[in-house]
């Protein structure tokens, strides 16, 4: 048994004792239906929990930082640990972040942890969505949760952007001005958006208070609300589940699932006898003489996994502390944006190298690649459409819109319980690979100056190549992926004539262990 396994066992034991103690006082048995909801024991399914824990850590570290941060651009005299700024009049927001970083005990550590938690929050949401996409876990009836997840991804980026501006140092203020220019580029309502989100022409005295209000209240409340909706849908519906292994017998050969009580059962669903409501726990199939539950390999009406409490709760506790340990390590060894080096915002100056964080780099790439002729004025109505609007607002909106409506493009009439093998979904996987390459090339375009410097040429040489690559490479690679997977599926299934099932995005027929699903909810 590995060290991690022993740690998980100990955590499970602690969780069991905690449950017994709590049950004696609050009669948790009455909530067994909820507490026994099964979670599949799949490691990749924990990416969503990592995102949830990152959000929690962001809230806790944000509360600490908020106690010392001053959302004001009014000048105050600096008196702190940084010698170069002693006695200077500087924006209060900048000065307060200097105090947090160099004068408040553990301030630098908490600020770093907040920074890395934001990055891991966005990354874990992105990886979670990729897992859901490639395994087809967005299919009927889980389309609503995919849409909610898309909204969470957009809000996570918005939270990171608004927080990025708050120190009001030279680098962050200049980078944040790009967002202001995009806001006012929106036809007809641009000026209104600029006043609403930035308090008028950037930077104004209202800019930092507005962004601070969005960062600490509006966006977190929206994220918390969508997380609540996401979890409510998750609890109401069954989890998806990977195709069961060979140790689960084929249809008609029911296997025994270890459990002693209903709440400790690791299956849940709405079939079998006895039956409980959605999301609850039931002893499924035929009970043996020891009271254990049984399940078939293709029984898509149940979930084989860990009950929510105490088993899954114990696993979640381990994931939380691993997430906390990872962020602590990053905060302890990796520095973050050095505002003392850049200095306070200087409207008359521009840092040599300006670029956003990695998760917004693809938007920056659109802005760098779009030619000036994409700016035009609509005849008759006289509405001007700028290249900034097309590249920085319209195209990202189309990307997010395409992601949100994807389950309705790859629509399935029947509900699906088991996740699919990406290799058995040629056109869906090809689209996913093409989309990833599209975003990656656009991100590289956002760093075109660094790329040009690395190869010894100017951006005027790099940009045309990147533009062609942005249009050609995703399409070409998508076609290659489709051809390879389609050919492989045909070779595999040619003998049994089951190619149609694979081409339709179903589970693989040759070596998969997932049966066809029924149309239950």
Pairing mode, strands 38-39 and 89-91: unpaired
- The predicted pLDDT at position 503 comes to 45
Helix (H, G, I), strand (E, B) or coil at 344: strand
- More confident of the two residues 261 and 187: 187
Q: Mean pLDDT check: name the lowest of 14-18, 51-55, 67-71.
A: 14-18
Mean pLDDT of 283-297: 54
Cα(507)–Cα(86) distance, rounded to whole angstroms?
Answer: 66
- The predicted pLDDT at position 237 comes to 85
Count CB atoms within 10 A of the CB of residue 358.
Answer: 13
Contact 486, 503 (CB under 8 A): yes
Contact 155, 226 (CB under 8 A): yes
- The predicted pLDDT at position 183 comes to 94
- From residue 467, give the alpha-carbon distance in Å to each of 7, 390, 442, 449, 502: 50, 15, 9, 14, 34
Q: Mean pLDDT check: name the lowest of 21-25, 378-382, 385-389.
A: 21-25
Cα(179)–Cα(202) distance, rounded to whole angstroms?
Answer: 10
Model confidence pLDDT, tens digit, residues 82-111:
999 999 999 999 999 999 999 999 999 999
pLDDT beyond 70 at 152? yes
Position 518 confidence tier, pLDDT thresholds 50, 70, 90: very low
Of 508, 507, 472, the residue nearest 488 (C-alpha): 508
Mean pLDDT of 429-446: 96
Reduced 3-state DSSP string for 217-260: HHHHHHHHHHHHHHHHHHHHCCCCECCCCCCCCCCCCCEEECCC
Please state, for a pLDDT cut of 90, what percent of the chain lies above it.
Answer: 56
pLDDT beyond 90 at 263? no
Mean pLDDT of 248-252: 62
Model confidence pLDDT, tens digit, residues 36-52:
788 888 888 899 999 99
User: Which residue blocks in 385-497 are alpha helix, DSSP H?
Assistant: 387-389, 395-409, 426-446, 448-455, 459-493
Mean pLDDT of 325-341: 93
Position 283 confidence tier, pLDDT thresholds 50, 70, 90: very low
pLDDT beyond 80 at 473? yes
Q: Mean pLDDT check: name the lowest of 126-140, 170-184, 430-444, 466-480.
A: 170-184
Q: Please give the backbone phi and psi of residue 385, each rounded to the nearest 5 degrees, phi first.
A: -115, 115
Cα(47)–Cα(228) distance, rounded to whole angstroms?
Answer: 17
- The predicted pLDDT at position 515 comes to 38
- From residue 36, give the alpha-carbon distance in Å to each of 110, 282, 286, 332, 355: 36, 9, 19, 39, 48
- The predicted pLDDT at position 5 comes to 74
- The predicted pLDDT at position 15 comes to 76
Contact 411, 498 (CB under 8 A): no
pLDDT beyond 50 at 259? no
Q: Mean pLDDT check: name the lowest of 250-259, 344-353, 477-486.
A: 250-259
Mean pLDDT of 130-150: 95
Mean pLDDT of 342-355: 79
- The predicted pLDDT at position 225 comes to 96
Mean pLDDT of 222-240: 91
- The predicted pLDDT at position 1 comes to 64
pLDDT beyond 90 at 380? no
pLDDT beyond 80 at 493? no
Cα(29)–Cα(19) distance, rounded to whole angstroms?
Answer: 10
Model confidence pLDDT, tens digit, residues 398-435:
999 999 999 999 999 989 889 999 999 999 999 999 99
- The predicted pLDDT at position 250 comes to 63
Q: Rounded to 5 degrees, what angle do the CA atoms 65, 69, 74 make? A: 165
Contact 153, 221 (CB under 8 A): no
Q: Rounded to 5 degrees, what angle do the CA atoms 367, 458, 388 make? A: 10
């Amino acid at each position: 048994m590995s060290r991690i396994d022993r740690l998980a066992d100990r955590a499970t034991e602690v969780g069991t004792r905690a449950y017994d103690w709590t049950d004696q006082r609050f009669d948790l048995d009455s909530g067994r239906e909820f507490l026994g909801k099964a979670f599949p024991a799949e490691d990749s399914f924990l990416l969503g929990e990592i995102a949830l824990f990152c959000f929690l850590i962001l809230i806790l570290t944000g509360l600490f930082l908020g106690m010392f941060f001053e959302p004001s651009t009014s000048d105050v005299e600096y008196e702190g640990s940084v010698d170069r700024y002693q006695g200077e009049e500087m924006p209060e927001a900048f000065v307060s972040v200097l105090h947090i970083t160099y004068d408040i005990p553990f301030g630098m550590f908490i600020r770093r942890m907040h920074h890395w938690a934001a990055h891991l929050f966005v990354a874990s949401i992105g990886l979670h969505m990729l897992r859901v996409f490639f395994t087809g876990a967005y299919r009927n009836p889980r389309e609503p949760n995919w849409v909610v997840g898309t909204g969470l991804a957009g809000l996570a980026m918005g939270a990171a952007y608004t927080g990025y501006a708050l120190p009001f140092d030279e680098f962050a203020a200049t980078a944040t001005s790009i967002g202001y220019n995009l806001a006012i580029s929106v036809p007809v309502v641009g000026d209104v958006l600029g006043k609403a989100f930035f308090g008028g022409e950037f930077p104004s005295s209202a800019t930092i208070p507005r962004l601070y209000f969005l960062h600490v209240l509006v966006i977190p409340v929206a994220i918390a609300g969508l997380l609540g909706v996401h979890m409510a849908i998750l609890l109401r519906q069954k989890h998806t589940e990977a195709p069961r292994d060979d140790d689960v017998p084929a249809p008609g050969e029911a296997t025994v699932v270890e459990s002693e009580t209903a709440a400790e059962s690791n299956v849940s669903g709405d079939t079998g006898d006895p039956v409980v409501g959605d999301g609850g726990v039931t002893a499924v199939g035929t009970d043996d003489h020891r009271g254990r539950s049984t399940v078939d390999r293709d029984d898509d009406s149940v979930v084989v996994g860990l009950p929510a409490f105490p088993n899954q709760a114990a696993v979640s506790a381990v994931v939380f502390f691993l997430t906390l340990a990872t962020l602590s390590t990053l905060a302890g060894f990796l520095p973050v944006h050095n505002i003392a080096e850049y200095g306070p915002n200087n409207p008359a100056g521009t840092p040599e190298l300006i670029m956003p964080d990695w998760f917004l780099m693809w938007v920056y790439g659109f802005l760098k690649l779009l030619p000036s002729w994409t700016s035009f004025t609509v005849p008759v109505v006289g509405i001007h459409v700028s290249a900034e609007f097309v590249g920085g607002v319209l195209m990202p909106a189309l990307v997010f819109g395409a992601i949100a409506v994807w389950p309705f493009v790859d629509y399935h009439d029947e509900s699906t319980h088991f996740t699919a093998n990406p290799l058995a979904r040629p056109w869906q996987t090809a689209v996913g690979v093409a989309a990833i390459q599209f975003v990656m090339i656009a991100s590289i375009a956002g760093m075109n100056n660094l790329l040009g410097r690395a190869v010894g040429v100017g951006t005027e040489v790099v940009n045309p190549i990147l533009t062609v690559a942005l249009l050609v490479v995703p399409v070409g690679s998508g076609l290659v992926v489709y051809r390879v997977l389609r050919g492989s599926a045909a070779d595999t299934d040619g003998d049994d004539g089951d190619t149609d099932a694979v081409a339709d995005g179903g589970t693989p027929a040759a070596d998969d262990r997932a049966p066809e699903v029924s149309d239950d909810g």
